[in-house]
Structure formats: C-alpha cells, structure tokens
Amino acid sequence: MTDRKSTRRTFLQTVGAMGVGSMVAAMAPFVNAADKHSTKNSDPKTVPKRPFGKTGVDVPILSLGGVLRTSDQMVFRMAFKMGVTYWDTADSYGWGKNEKAIGKYFARSPNDRKKVFLVTKAATSDPTKLSQKLNVSLQKMNTPYVDMYFVHYVKNVKDELTAEVKAWAEKAKAEGKIRFFGFSAHKNMENSMLAASKLGWIDGIMMSYNYRLIVKDEMKRAVDACVKAGIGLTAMKTQAAFSANFYASIGSETDNALKMTESFMKKGYTAKQAKLKAVWENPNISSICSAMPNLTILEANAAAAMNKAEFSAHDKHLLDQYAHQTAPGYCAGCADICESAVDYSVPISDILRYSMYNCSYGDRETASALFHTLPLDIKTNLLKTDFSDAENRCPQKMRIGKVLKTALEDLA
C-alpha cells in the first residue's frame, strides 16, 4: 500500500507543477446555474458582471482588494484588462500607500477611471472627519469622485449610521464626490445587515461571507433582507482563513481535505478557487473582494470567475464537511456571544482577526499595528480573564484563551 503522506506529497507536487498558466488555459468560459439569471458577460475573456443592488450599476464579480503599492502597476493594468474593474481600498490600507498606488495608475491612464468602480473607506462616522478623509483620499487617487464610500468596520449601525451621517452622504452625493454610500462589517455582520436593511438609504455593504457562513440561518436572513432593500453586497474574507498557526494542519493533513482537493482539481480548479465559487453560487452576492498582491493570484482568481465547470451538490457537501471539521480554527465574528461571557473587557473577535492576518496572511506588520491600537488595559485584561465560559458558548468551539494568549505573544 502506498504511504498516505507520500501520496499527498506527490499530489501536491503535481498541483504545483501545473502552474497558473496551465490552470487558466484549462478553464473555458460558461455560465453556471446561479449565473444564468444574474451574471452578464459580453466578453468571454473578461470577468462577468452582476447588478449591484438598487444602484443600476453592474460590477465585476471579482474585486481587486487594496494591498497593492505604487510599484505594483502591472497588477492594476492586468486587472483592468481582465475586467476586474471593481477596485476596493481604504485610507488606512498600506498606511495610505494603496490609495497613492491607485492615483499613480489613474495619472498614467486617466481614461480608465470611468470604467473602474472605485470604493474607498474611512474608519469614522463623524461627518466632519468623513469630509476631511474623503478629500484626502480623492487627492491621493487622482479622482474627483469615488463610486462608493464606506464607513469602515461598523460595529453598531444604530450608533454609527446616524441621521447626521445620512445628511452627510446626501450632501456628498449632491456635490458629486461620491455616487453611493455604505459600510463594511467584520463582526456581528448579520445584526448590522438587518439593521441597515431597515434604514432605506444604504446602497452597499461589504461583509465577511464565505463557505462557512453561507449555511448559517442568521446570515441567510440578513442577505435576504438586504436584497429586498436593494442593497448591493460584496463578500470579503471568502477563504475563511484560520486564526492561529496551531490550527493550520487541520486544513491540509486530513483525508477529507485531500479528497476535497482532488475532487476540485479534477474539475479544473483548486480548493481556494472552489471557496470563491461557493460564494458566487449565491446570485445575490454582487462581488467578491479579494486581496491579490501579484499576477499569480490575480490570474487564478480571475480564472475561477470565468470557469464554467459546474459547482455541484457534491462539491458543496465536501466544503460543508471541511467547514465542520475545521470549525475550531475559524472565528465566525459572532462577538456578542463570546465577549459577553467574560468578566473583563476583551475584544475577542478583533484580536482573533489580527491573529488571522498574522498566521494565515503572513502580514505581521498589519496585525501588530492593529493590535497596538487597542487600549492599554486590554493586554492586562487578556491575561487575567478566564475564557472557559466564552469557549463553551462559542459555536465554533474555538480554544479562545490559547489563541488570544498566543496572539499576545506574537503581536505585543
């Protein structure tokens, strides 16, 4: 009998030897079951589009996430050529360098600006600061307007998206500085989405949404409510990455993980591409925002968007099995559940997200910088808190205490 580890090594070496070029070439365009009713693509060599809520605008189903810097102009150029013309950024991404990189591209290719659906964000709901930050962003990006402006990382819609913010958004629209307005949400997404659906003036939402969250009833209700309200939805964190290094082996060393990868590769896409396709199966998700720091990842993601191989019920079952098996490695962002179970103030969900940036994205710089923005007493609270009740309540059954203390050691 062939050794299982040897088989795995051989298989993964074969996958690596394929290369993105071969993978892209093997993918002929099609429209899958969900896309037949909602996806538009007049050019089979570019990423298809979907309507963005009530805006009347069609956007590519793949969005270029804001990780690029001024030296990465080739990625911008190729993204534009592939039809990845929904570009997402924020004033804080790359410490402001991503907006400058976009500005450099528009300075060189000004005619491309009207063909790009441009989104930026600011982590404030203060109208005065929103004006200041928007003006700085417009200057950096060499553009008189953005297509969508987000309040970044909304935690409580009622407290943050006030009547004053609504008035500010209407004024900014009237001035021609923004076309649409919305927000992004990393935790308690479902509550924020449901609350926003009742406001009547939110154009778009970007939220964590992936194969792990798709099946949750709370998320299904939140998506349905937003669709009825005409809110355009952009999915982020679609790979559902692990929050700690000691969970990483769960994702690659099991029989189910190997079987899943083999099954997907037979259809012409990788496990990572399959996770994107699982999200696109929902026609109400207008786009996926993905960090694509190089041409290799850009080509792979664009290939997945144009891949016409059916995503079957068996594929979904494989992902469901994988999600269940690896649940303890993933924070689902339901912070109200765990954070209310501890005696001291600890932003559990936030720290787990920072740990994910470090462990799964390999971006310790960003993770550490975000960790150091937390109040000074958080570190003390973290060390003296008993997380056993939080762990018992966690739907994912995460070892919260161990992950948080490891994050403290890694990022402090």
Q: What does the alpha-carbon distance between residue 134 and residue 362 come to, in Å, rounded to a whole number?
A: 30
Between these two residues, 34 and 130, which has the higher pLDDT value? 130
What percentage of residues in the chain have a pLDDT greater than 90?
75
**Range of weakest confidence among 61-75, 162-176, 191-205, 312-326:** 312-326
Between these two residues, 308 and 225, which has the higher pLDDT value? 225
Looking at residue 263, what is its pLDDT? 85
Looking at residue 257, what is its pLDDT? 78
Domains of the chain: 26-322 (3.20.20.100), 331-411 (no CATH)
| pLDDT tens digits, one per residue of 32-82 | 434 444 567 656 689 999 999 999 999 999 999 999 999 999 999 999 999
In terms of DSSP H, where are the helices of 26-146? 73-82, 97-108, 127-140
Q: Cβ-count burial of 101 within 10 angstroms (0-12 exposed, 13-18 middle, 19+ buried)?
A: buried
Are the CB atoms for 77 and 83 separated by under 8 Å?
A: no
Looking at residue 325, what is its pLDDT? 87
Residue 217: Cβ within 10 Å count: 8
Considering the entire predicted model, what is its pTM?
Answer: 0.88
| pLDDT tens digits, one per residue of 337-346 | 999 999 999 9
Q: What does the alpha-carbon distance between residue 347 and residue 404 come to, in Å, rounded to a whole number?
A: 10
Looking at residue 251, what is its pLDDT? 59
Q: What does the alpha-carbon distance between residue 24 and residue 39 come to, in Å, rounded to a whole number?
A: 20
Q: What does the alpha-carbon distance between residue 373 and residue 380 come to, in Å, rounded to a whole number?
A: 15
Q: What does the alpha-carbon distance between residue 28 and residue 44 come to, in Å, rounded to a whole number?
A: 9
Calculate the average pLDDT of the chain.
88
Looking at residue 65, what is its pLDDT? 96
What number is the average pLDDT over the span 17-46? 47
Query: Is residue 21 very low, low, confident or very high in pLDDT (cuts 50, 70, 90)?
Result: very low
What percentage of residues in the chain have a pLDDT greater than 70?
88
Looking at residue 41, what is its pLDDT? 64
> Does the pLDDT at position 195 exceed 90?
yes
Are the CB atoms for 337 and 394 separated by under 8 Å?
A: yes
Looking at residue 410, what is its pLDDT? 93
**Beta-sheet pairing, 146-151 with 204-208:** unpaired
Q: Which helix (H) or strand (E) holds 118?
A: strand 117-122
The DSSP bridge partners found for residue 122 are 151
> Does the pLDDT at position 26 exceed 80?
no
Looking at residue 23, what is its pLDDT? 36
| pLDDT tens digits, one per residue of 238-297 | 999 999 888 866 656 667 777 888 888 888 889 899 999 999 999 999 999 999 999 999
Looking at residue 225, what is its pLDDT? 98
Q: What does the alpha-carbon distance between residue 181 and residue 121 come to, in Å, rounded to a whole number?
A: 10
| pLDDT tens digits, one per residue of 171-182 | 999 999 999 999
82 Cβ neighbours under 8 A, 6+ residues apart: 45, 46, 47, 298, 299, 302
| pLDDT tens digits, one per residue of 87-109 | 999 999 988 899 999 999 999 99
Residue 170: Cβ within 10 Å count: 13
Radius of gyration over every alpha carbon of the chain, rounded to an integer in angstroms: 21
Looking at residue 252, what is its pLDDT? 60
166 Cβ neighbours under 8 A, 6+ residues apart: 199, 201
| pLDDT tens digits, one per residue of 355-368 | 999 998 889 999 99
Q: What does the alpha-carbon distance between residue 221 and residue 327 come to, in Å, rounded to a whole number?
A: 21
The DSSP bridge partners found for residue 72 are none
Looking at residue 92, what is its pLDDT? 93
Looking at residue 307, what is its pLDDT? 87
Instruction: Count Cα atoms within 13 angstroms, Cβ side, for 8.
Output: 13
> Does the pLDDT at position 2 exceed 70?
no
**Range of weakest confidence among 186-195, 249-258, 285-294, 324-333:** 249-258
CA nearest neighbour of 206 among 319, 363, 49, 52: 52
